[in-house]
């Protein structure tokens, strides 16, 4: 079961007897928990990024051709876009355009409202966007399949969304506690952290399908605490 930030911090404090500690405060532990999440996230993205496969929808308006990426997207990694019209009668995959010359021609000549949409990554002074071709656009809905970031925990009620690897996250936070306190147990804690990292790598490697060719291509370029 996934834990909240408050619960994770409480487990670190309880295991290390930090409940009444003033040298290591809640904010320190919160920061180290989130650092542990970032470390785990990097491993996951490197080995099995489909762990973070997600989807959302974007409302499309005729005449609008630039749209924001999902707010939690990782490295602008879009797996698939699917268009559906406002009535739910027409649906097609929105494929990435092969070259800008083709896109420019579509902007000029495809001016009606019934064309097949295409897209390309776009980055202007207003930020990174999904650029639709042709610019005449269409009204309807764009379903976006994408790779998201791991959730950073900012409030005590925020829930860790990579709960399978909470043991690693907690151990990473404990290691930082030991280092800040100058505790010699930091060395053994770091060794355990690395062991749990390897366990995570093994788990993720086993999650990858045997036939790697069937993994969709990117179109855009332990839960119990171990006593320390």
The pLDDT of residue 211: 54
Rounded Cα distance, 72 and 204, in Å: 22
Name the packing angle between helices 26-47 and 186-207 (round to 10°).
40
- Kindly indicate the confidence band of residue 90, based on its pLDDT and cuts at 50, 70 and 90: confident
Rounded Cα distance, 137 and 193, in Å: 50
Rounded Cα distance, 228 and 180, in Å: 16
Residue 22 has pLDDT above 60, yes or no: yes
**What does pLDDT average to over the chain?**
90
Antiparallel, parallel or unpaired: β 73-84 and 140-148: antiparallel
């Amino acid at each position: 079961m996934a834990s909240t930030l408050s619960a994770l911090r409480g487990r670190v404090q309880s295991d290390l007897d930090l409940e009444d500690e003033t040298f290591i405060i809640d904010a320190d532990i919160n920061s180290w928990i989130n650092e542990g999440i970032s470390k785990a996230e990097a491993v996951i993205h490197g080995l099995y990024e489909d762990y973070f496969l997600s989807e959302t929808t974007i409302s499309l308006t005729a005449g609008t051709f630039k749209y924001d990426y999902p707010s939690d997207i990782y490295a602008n990694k879009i797996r698939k876009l699917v268009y559906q019209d406002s009535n739910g009668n027409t649906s097609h995959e929105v494929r990435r355009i092969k070259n800008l010359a083709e896109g420019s021609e579509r902007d000029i000549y495809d001016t009606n409202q019934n064309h097949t949409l295409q897209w390309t990554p776009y980055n202007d002074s207003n930020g990174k966007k999904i650029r639709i071709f042709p610019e005449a656009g269409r009204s309807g809905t764009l379903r976006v399949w994408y790779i998201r970031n791991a959730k950073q925990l900012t409030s005590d009620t925020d829930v860790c969304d990579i709960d399978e690897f909470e043991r690693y996250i907690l151990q990473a936070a404990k290691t930082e506690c030991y280092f800040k306190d100058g505790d010699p147990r930091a060395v053994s804690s770091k060794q355990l952290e690395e062991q749990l990292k390897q366990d995570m790598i093994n788990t993720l490697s086993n999650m990858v399908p045997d036939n790697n060719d069937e993994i969709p291509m990117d179109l855009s370029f332990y839960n119990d605490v171990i006593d320390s």
